[in-house]
Amino acid sequence: MIRVIIAVVLTVTLSLSSPLQSNAEASYRVPQEDSEELRLQDMLLNFLTPYINDAVRDYYRRLLVESPLVYPYFVNVVDSMRINGFRGFNLSITLDVTPVVGPHISVGEDRLTFQISVGPEVKLVNYTHLKSYELPPHWQNIVKKPVK
């Protein structure tokens, strides 16, 4: 009987001490040190964050009552290129983003491609929803119900 109690206590202790899974954490790369490239990328993401959030809000407005947000640290740069050749200032950037609600609860993963040109002018040219995550029970109230 004592062995059973010890086994139960040990099982409960181990399961409570293990970290909870977070979808947001797995979907972005965590830099290990600062660099010139990282600082420039962070400056660019500061500039692009309003455009990212507008695109995400437009997509999720049909699915959720509350608009999710994308924080710069939940963004991965997938690709960037010059559209009009060397030293041309018409550029394209593709980003993978993880929109969240509330205390950083992931609602999905999305890929956005922006065209950036002199002005600056920022134009969303492609939005692809990659993955949806189910919200926890206490956040189900923000999910829009299908219209019948």
Question: To which residue do tokens 């692009």 refer?
Answer: 48
Provide the pLDDT for residue 32: 83
| Residues of the chain falling short of pLDDT 70 | 1-31, 147-148
CB-count exposure of residue 52 (10 Å: 0-12, 13-18, 19+): buried
Give the SS3 label for residue 128: strand
Report which DSSP code applies to 64.
B
Locate the domains of the chain by residue range: 38-142
pTM of whole model > 0.85?
A: no
Provide the pLDDT for residue 21: 41
Q: pLDDT tens digit string along 46-85? A: 999 999 999 999 999 999 999 999 999 999 999 999 999 9
d(CA 74, CA 59): 17
Provide the pLDDT for residue 30: 65
